[in-house]
Structure 1
Amino acid sequence: MKKIGNSIRQGLNTKMGFFLLTVFLFWLKTYYAYKTKFNLGVKGGMQNLILAINPIPTILILLGVALFLRGRKSYVVMLVIDFLDTTWLFANILYYREFSDFLTFTLIKGSGAASTNLDKSIANIVRGSDFLVYADVLLLVLLLAFHVIKMDMRPFKRRYATAIELLGVFLFAVNLGMANSDRSGLLTRTFDNNYIVKYLGLNAYTVYDGVKTQQNEAIKKKANASDLKSVQSYLKNNRVGDNASYYGKAKGKNVIIIHLESFQQFLIDFKWKGKEVTPNLNKIYHESDTLSFDNFFNQVGQGKTADAEMMMENSLFGLPEGAAMVTDGTTNTFQAAPAKLSQMGYTTAAFHGDVPSFWNRDNAYKSWGYQYFFSNEYYKNKASYNVGYGMKDKIFLDQSSKYLEQLPQPFYAKLITLTNHYPYLLDKKNASIARTNTGDDTVDGYVVTARYLDQAIGEFMTWLKKTGLDKSTMVVFYGDHYGISGNHKKAVAKLLGKKSFNNFDDAQFQRVPFMIHMEGLKGGINHTYGGEIDALPTIMDLLGVKDDDTIQFGQDLLNPDRNQTVAFRNGDFVSPTYTKVGSTYYDTSTGKVVHPTGAEKTKVEKMTNHVATELSLSDKVINEDLLRFYTPAGFKKVNKADYNYKVSYGKKLLKKAQKKEPTSVLAKNDGKSDTDLYVTDAPELKK
């Protein structure tokens, strides 16, 4: 035994021995992270084998670089590479925990546009066990520092170092071959980063993402008008038109879009300890003049809120990497709802209780044609008025009324709530319902902030009635994305009183509210399957705006002939018949796994191809900036230079509008404000 120990020690005292130890420890911690920190959907012996070997090729190549160096440099570079790669792994663990996805270069490049309060979010995400990935780095440093392992100062033969690099390349080729045999078209037909990591490893995914990012930048430069033909052909063959009984029912009405931050459909009618969590929204949901959709899904990717806004206002999907509002919002050509409606006589405005640069809104909104953008710079502010990602909803909506009443009618206004945002923080004086008791901090605070948001909505809707705006306004409510990610399955199962919560359940859990409320509207609960991509065509048809020649990938939710296959950003889908998660198909009505054969197989393959086509063509529109080559009839291209969101300019513009277009609530009241009719119980505002 002693002899074996001496042999191992002697082996570790060689550069090759230390290299192999470093490789082994890196493999061990990476595999540990794969199995415990990520949810990669590994099934069967082949996928488990691929997962086990995929960290090895790239780490051989990376660490092998150090073998070309002499003396201490070789050891130092090896440790530095190990540390940097570990930090990348650590960062992805944190990001994945909340967003069920991996970091991309596009996302990192645009991180400055979404960095506010991230320190609070990270503090809630980090777990002690995450730091175990650094254990091997620390161990190796200590082994060298205390001379348990001695540095081998002899030069490592260059041909051996080259052989190790070639071995890494060969093993990667083998890995890629195995991956392609199990998942054909892995690098050409995937919209899910989980697949790349599962089959090729995190390092290979990083290279893949970097190459793809560079390719996308090059594609935009090469694009021309002919590239739009395939998009137009697809849309022409897939248009379904409007619903004649609803078309134009809201013509000339104001439109208020209320963005319900992180709000999921399950909260509607949900009770905790005998109390309705969202009584105000429940009431609106069930009213006879509200069109409510109970099978409406969020379809966001990494951009989350930004992706939801992209779909709601453009009927274009967010990108598979990063947020299009950040990467393309400043430079691309868009034909968004605010621009269309402003050219038809609407006043258009967005309201957001945080910094204007968040998600690059101060630039993207100009590209979309918003005339006004009321960011936190327009609001009276104190430290107590804010929580998490911006101004508390009650205070935000109360102060927004001052600007809303000044907008010339008809207007199109979007109000973005923020309090119901991860990590679901709220002080005790504002909490009016008990936390749930799943034992998961993320889940347990969710009902508290959701109740607060609901109360804020109740106050706002009461004000609309007092001013009479409720009679001339169509109010649209939508949830932008999930509030509880698929990484909290046990807690969600407990919350919903279910025995388990699997991937199928998580796909169904992506439902978010979509409600259209207007006096005199023939309402009811509509069971059609749809998603955020369909919101814009639905709203435009209600307003009586023709959009036959627009580049939009959604369909009017009120048309009974519409395609009810709802695409998720990663290529999965839900429909009334089948649900696809990864490579598994489920019967939507039963939740049971199905193995399609014959006609059934043809049907699900057609649905899968439909989803892939929609996503790829939408990506093509954004990545190649194709709208610069096409202008719909009657639409005037947006000139971003026409817009200025500075407070002084915005207030001056509003003041002029009261005289030039005296159709606002304020103007009709002969300059008398109705903000005194706004009643809120926000404790911060009580004298």
Structure 2
Amino acid sequence: MKRFIKGFSSFLNTRLGFVILAVVLYTIKTIYAYTTKFNLGVKGSLQTFLMVINPIPVMLLLFGIALYMKGRKSYIFLLIIDFLDSVWLFSNILYYREFSDFLTMILIKGSGAVSNNLGKSIAGIVKPTDFLVFLDVLILILLLAFHVIKMDVKRLKWRIPILVSCLAALLFGANLTLAESDRSGLLTRTFDNNYIVKYLGLNAFNVYDIVKTTKTNAVKAQSKSSDLDSIEKYMKDNYAQPNPEYTGVAKGKNIFVIHLESFQQYLIDYKWDGQEVTPNLNKIYHEDNTLSFDNFFNQVGQGKTADAELMLENSLFGLPEGAAMVTDGTSNTFQAAPAILDQHGYTTASFHGDVPSFWNRDNTYKSWGYDYFFSSNFYKEKKDYNVGYGMKDKIFLRDSAQYIQQLPQPFYAKLITVTNHYPYMLDKKNQSITKTDTGDSTVDGYVQTAKYLDEAIGEFMDWLKATGLDKTSMVVFYGDHYGISDNHKKAMSKITGIKNFDEFDNAQYQRVPFMMHMDGLKGGVNHTYGGEIDVLPTLLKMVGVNDSNMIQFGSDLLSKDHSQVVAFRNGDFVSPKVTKVGSNYYNTKNGKIDKKISAQAKSKLSNKVTTELSLSDRVINGDLLRFYHPEGFTKVNRKDYNYKKSVTLDALKKARTKNGTSILAQNDNKSLLDLYQTDAPELK
């Protein structure tokens, strides 16, 4: 034992030993920060293992630079690096405590969010335990100061620092490979900064952020106002004149946008085990005062939900890679539904029962002009309240009612449900229908979570009726993206009864619901082909907002001028007559390859789709809307918005005046929550 202690002590007195000790101490303090200061959502043994090892590769590389130096310089360099990195970790802890997200180059350089929000209240944010992240630096300094460890000033052979650098690179490669195996597309399809930190570490996230920001800024720096010329011409040439029968029919009404997570159109009227899977949505779909679309398609790419939100509220397509809400949501200029409606007298709010940083919503919503963002910070947290990607829908919608009743009217409120999300798991006490029997574990649970979502919608609609909001509101339902991917063709063949479920069928099953429900609305099932890109211009016309001078790549679904060519993000498309999948052109009616379609017709249709996609990409990648100033629209100032809970609650309290327009104020500030009836077992 004495020999071991002596040998270990001798090793620590070498420069390599000191570097290894510094890496170990840094790793321990980082794990402490990960587990006590951040909410990374680590689940399972693999994610835990990756969280433990991910600080090692980068710090071994950085501290290993000291090995290339001579004498005392190497020790001083290592301590400086360790201290600076500790300062960065400390800053992220403070920022995360306020905003549930990590610092980025855009936030520091552009938005001023750090200085504006943290600087004013830093004394109230800091906790004594935060300073423990400097403990490893202090320990190393004391070990050297009291000569417990002596400085090794001998020159090292070059092979040692080179081997250390190579080892760091290999470890990072292994870390990334394991991370990708658990979360494919981790760096290309980024939807939450927490994921990168959880899998690769805070320092790796910083490098990723710098690279991403540099690339994005390079493109934006080269952009100029004249880049809009061809886009403005395209808008003018393809503008769809409004349908006078529906223009302004929802003017002054509250607007609810209900996000039906992963909900495909085929679930409407679908029965399993002798039951309707979605009886409440079926009823709404067929009501006389509901405008329903049975040829409405999701058009998402890698960003999935984020792409759907982007299209829905901006009429811009998602990007070919990644999610624009993440890559550009913080820095770009937008002319989104919340800002447009806010400038026409609406209060705007989004509700989501997960962390605010998911899909970068906490930053993107400021760029879009949302007055309020109610994230998981605003809801009661209990273990059995959550499943998968956030709060269970029944609890989420019920708890959202307490804030809805406080919103000044008219309002635009988007509620994002999440229970019907892959992998479609639900605890037994909430299951009210049996699984399907395809033998595919992913597909078979889909009806159970869909049924649960439908029950939650039924409860919410009953509350609207009980409060009278059903008479003063238009409720919009939309499915954000497919629920069952094309990797489950065999199971889908059993579900649908289509014998050989192929790529054409998969394209047709990209249909998702789109319904607009309002008292007195002339409804019916509309067979027009359209997609998520068309929602914003359709809603604005119904509210009576003139959008003829806006940059929107969709068009009013109710207009006779509406184009029925629905573009998919990969360049494929579907239309009433022709569907393109890959290099094949199908007859949409019979599903067979169309050999009669001319090369000219193919080219015309494909060119329309690629033109729309490329022009939309140009708007986002170049941040071109910063150069565009449509009459009647005021550019959003992100600094005007703060989603901190205390600030939000204070603003809602101020709105509860004697002459307030919220339903709470109109009810003498007596809560209407007792009218909300739910059978959620967790609330009993």
Following superposition, the deviation at residue 87 of structure 1 comes to: 8.0
Q: For residues 158-177 of structure 1, what are the structure 2 equivalents within 5 Å?
A: none
Instruction: Decide whether aligned partners of structure 1 residues 113 and 406 sit closer, same or farther in structure 2, where only a CA change above 3 A counts.
Output: same
Distance 1:78 1:487, change over 3 A: farther
Q: Is the 8 A contact 1:261 1:421 kept in 2?
A: yes
- Provide the residue aligned with 1:674 in structure 2: 672
Whether the 8 Å CA contact 2:192–2:357 is kept in 1: the answer is no
Instruction: Give the structure 1 partner of residue 351 of structure 2.
Output: 351
Match of 2:266 in 1: 266
Seen in structure 2, the aligned counterparts of structure 1 residues 682 and 565 have a Cα distance that, compared at 3 Å, is same
Partner of 1:549: 549
CA distance in structure 2 between the partners assigned to 1:72 and 1:374 by the alignment: 53
What is residue 638 of structure 1 aligned with on the other side? 636
Residue 106 of structure 1, CA deviation: 4.2
What SS does the corresponding residue of 1:594 show, helix, strand or coil? coil
Q: Which residue of 2 aligns with 1:107?
A: 189
Is 1:475 paired with 2:557?
no
Partner of 1:486: 486
Q: Which residue of 2 aligns with 1:332?
A: 332
CA contact (8 A) 1:117 1:388 kept: no
Partner SS for 1:576: coil
SS in 2 for 1:259: strand
1:631 deviation in Å? 1.6
The one-letter amino acid of 1:436's match is T
**For 1:628, which of 626, 630, 637 is the aligned residue?**
626
1:364 maps to 364
Distance 1:405 1:594, change over 3 A: same
Letter in 1 for 2:319: L
Aligned-pair CA distance for 1:659: 1.2
Structural mapping, 1:145-160, within 5 Å: none
Question: Per-residue deviation at 1:380?
Answer: 1.6
TM-score of the superposed pair, with normalisation by structure 2: 0.72
CA distance in 2, matches of 1:670, 1:637: 36
The structural deviation recorded for 1:344 is 1.2
Structure 2 runs not aligned, ≥5 long: 1-157, 201-209
- Residues 437-462 of structure 1 show CA distances to partners (whole Å, capped at 9, x for unaligned) of 11111101110000000000000000
Q: How does 1:385-534 map to 2 (within 5 A)?
A: 385-534=385-534
How far apart, in 2, do the equivalents of 1:572 and 1:478 lie? 22
Cα pair 1:256 1:475 within 8 Å, conserved: yes
Q: Output the CA distance in 2 between the equivalents of 1:116 and 1:493.
A: 39
Matches within 5 A, 1:531-680: 531-596=531-596, 600-659=598-657, 662-680=660-678
TM-score (norm 1): 0.72
* CA distance, structure 2, for counterparts of residue 655 and residue 529 of structure 1: 44
Summarize deviations over 1:89-135 as a string: whole Å, max 9, x none.
77667666xxxxxx374435x5425679999xxxxxxxxxxxxxxxx
1:76 Cα deviation from its structure 2 partner: 13
Aligned partner of 1:685 in structure 2 is: 683
Letter in 2 for 1:410: P
1:588 positional shift: 0.5
- C-alpha distance in structure 1 between counterparts of 2:464 and 2:215, whole Å: 49
Structure 2 counterpart SS, 1:293: strand
Query: Using the alignment, how far apart are the partners of 1:283 and 1:453 within structure 2?
Result: 14
SS of residue paired to 2:633: coil
The residue correspondences of 1:290-329 to structure 2 (distance < 5 A) are: 290-329=290-329
CA distance in 2: counterparts of 1:604 and 1:113, whole angstroms:
44
Given that 1:114 and 1:358 are in contact with CA atoms closer than 8 Å, whether structure 2 keeps it comes out as: no
Amino acid at match of 1:633: E
CA distance in 1, matches of 2:216, 2:558: 36
Check whether the contact 2:243–2:558 (CA below 8 A) recurs between aligned residues: yes
Amino acid of the structure 1 residue aligned with 2:476 = V
Contact 1:644–1:650 (CA under 8 A) maintained in structure 2:
yes
* SS state at 2:649 partner: helix
Residue type matched to 2:442 in 1? T
- In structure 2, relative to structure 1, the CA distance for the partners of 1:576 and 1:112 (3 Å cut) is same
Native 8 Å contact 1:408 1:661 kept in 2: no
On the 8 A contact 1:268/1:281 being kept in 2, the answer is: yes
CA 1:659–1:93: 2 relative to 1, 3 Å: same
Aligned partners of 1:83 and 1:654: how far apart in 2?
50
> Once the 2 structures are TM-superposed, how far is the Cα of residue 78 of structure 1 from its aligned partner?
12
- Distance (whole Å) between structure 1 residues aligned to residue 362 and residue 350 of structure 2: 10
Q: What is the distance in 1 between the residues matched to 2:552 and 2:613?
A: 12
Aligned length: 518
**Residues in 1 aligned to 2:468 and 2:403: alpha-carbon distance in whole angstroms:** 16
SS, match of residue 221 in structure 1 = helix
Q: Aligned pair in 2 of structure 1 residues 79, 369: CA closer, same or farther (>3 Å)?
A: closer
Change beyond 3 A, Cα 1:580–1:217: farther
Letter of the 1:282 partner, please give it.
N
Task: Show CA shifts across 1:627-658 (max 9, x none).
Answer: 10012111111111111111111011001011
Mapped to 1, the partners of 2:667 and 2:658 lie a distance apart of 15
Shift of the alpha carbon at 1:594? 2.1
Cα distance, 1:425 vs structure 2: 1.2
Aligned alpha-carbon RMSD (Å) = 2.7
Cα gap change, 1:296 to 1:116, in 2 (>3 Å): farther
Cα distance in structure 1, aligned partners of 2:310 and 2:509: 22
Q: Which runs of 5+ in 1 are unaligned?
A: 1-69, 97-102, 120-209
Among the aligned pairs, what percent are the same residue? 65
8 Å Cα contact 1:390-1:418 kept in structure 2:
yes
Deviation at 1:561, TM superposition (A): 2.4
Equivalent position amino acid for 1:678 in 2: Y
Give 1:542 shift: 0.4
* Secondary structure at the counterpart of residue 481 of structure 1: coil
State the one-letter code of the partner of 1:408. Answer: P
Alignment of 1:20-99 (within 5 A): none
